[in-house]
C-alpha cells in the first residue's frame, strides 16, 4: 500500500550534525525521518524557502531539461529500506509512456518539490523504519529546524551561502 506524504521539514540531527528530511503522512500522524546529504538538504530547503541562486542547482537543471523535453514527473515513491539505505523511484511520463527510475530519496524529493509531483512511501517502508507519531520538535526536543525561528535562520543561511563551499577539487 502507498501512503501519500508531504515534506514536514528539514531538520538537523544534533547527534550526527547531519540533515534529516522529515516526511509526514498526509492523512495520518506518522513522520518518516531520512538522513540526507547537505547538498540535497540545501537543494530541498532552498526550493521550499524560495531561495534563488545565481546559477541553477543540479535539481533545477534536471527539472529544466525535463520541461524542455516534455517529460512530466507525476510522482515519486520511497519503495524500500535495506541495510539502513532507503530506495526510491521517480516516475516519468514521456508522452504517455511511463518509466520508473531508481533514485536516492533525497534526489527524488528535490525533483518532486520543483515539479509538484506527489510523494509516496510504501507502508512496508514505514513499518521497517523508525517513525515518529508526533512532530519531532514537540516530541523529542533535540531535533531542530522545523520551528518558525529555525526556518527563518535556515532561509537566511541559504541566502548567504557562497557556492564555492560546495565545489570539491579534482
List pLDDT tens digits, range 27-79.
Answer: 998 999 999 999 999 999 999 988 988 999 899 999 999 999 999 999 999 99
Name the range with the highest mean pLDDT among 27-36, 114-123, 146-155, 159-168: 114-123
Q: Where are the domains of the chain?
A: 2-166
Which CA distances in Å does 105 have to 72, 131, 144, 160? 18, 16, 21, 26
Assign domain 2-166 to its CATH superfamily: Bifunctional nuclease domain (3.10.690.10)
pLDDT value of position 129: 86
Predicted TM-score (pTM) of the model is 0.77
Q: Among all chains, which residue has been given the C-alpha cell 520543483?
A: 114
Cβ neighbours for 62, distance < 8 A, ≥ 6 positions apart: 111
Of 38, 2, 49, 24, which is closest to residue 168 (Cα–Cα)? 38
Q: What is the mean pLDDT of the chain?
A: 83
**Share of residues in the chain with pLDDT > 90 (%):** 59
Which CA distances in Å does 135 have to 20, 81, 99? 13, 22, 34
What is the rounded CA–CA span in Å between residue 107 and residue 5? 16
Query: 24 or 130: whose pLDDT is higher?
Result: 24
What is the rounded CA–CA span in Å between residue 113 and residue 108? 9
pLDDT value of position 151: 57
What is the rounded CA–CA span in Å between residue 110 and residue 103? 11
pLDDT value of position 6: 95
pLDDT value of position 52: 86
Amino acid at each position: 500500500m502507498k501512503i501519500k506524504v508531504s515534506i514536514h521539514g528539514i531538520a538537523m540531527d544534533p547527534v550526527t550534525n547531519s540533515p534529516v528530511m522529515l516526511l509526514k503522512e498526509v492523512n495520518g500522524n506518522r513522520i518518516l525521518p531520512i538522513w540526507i546529504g547537505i547538498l540535497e538538504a540545501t537543494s530541498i530547503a532552498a526550493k521550499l524557502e524560495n531561495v534563488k541562486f545565481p546559477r541553477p542547482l543540479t535539481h533545477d537543471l534536471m527539472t529544466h531539461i525535463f520541461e524542455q523535453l516534455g517529460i512530466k514527473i507525476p510522482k515519486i515513491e520511497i519503495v524500500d529500506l535495506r541495510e539502513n539505505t532507503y530506495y526510491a523511484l521517480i516516475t516519468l511520463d514521456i508522452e504517455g509512456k511511463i518509466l520508473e527510475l531508481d533514485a536516492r530519496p533525497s534526489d527524488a524529493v528535490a525533483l518532486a518539490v520543483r515539479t509538484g509531483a506527489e510523494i509516496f512511501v510504501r507502508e512496508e517502508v514505514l513499518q521497517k523504519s523508525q517513525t515518529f507519531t508526533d512532530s519531532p520538535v514537540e516530541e523529542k526536543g533535540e531535533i531542530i529546524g522545523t520551528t518558525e525561528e529555525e526556518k527563518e535562520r535556515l532561509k537566511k543561511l541559504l541566502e548567504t551561502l557562497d557556492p564555492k563551499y560546495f565545489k570539491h577539487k579534482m
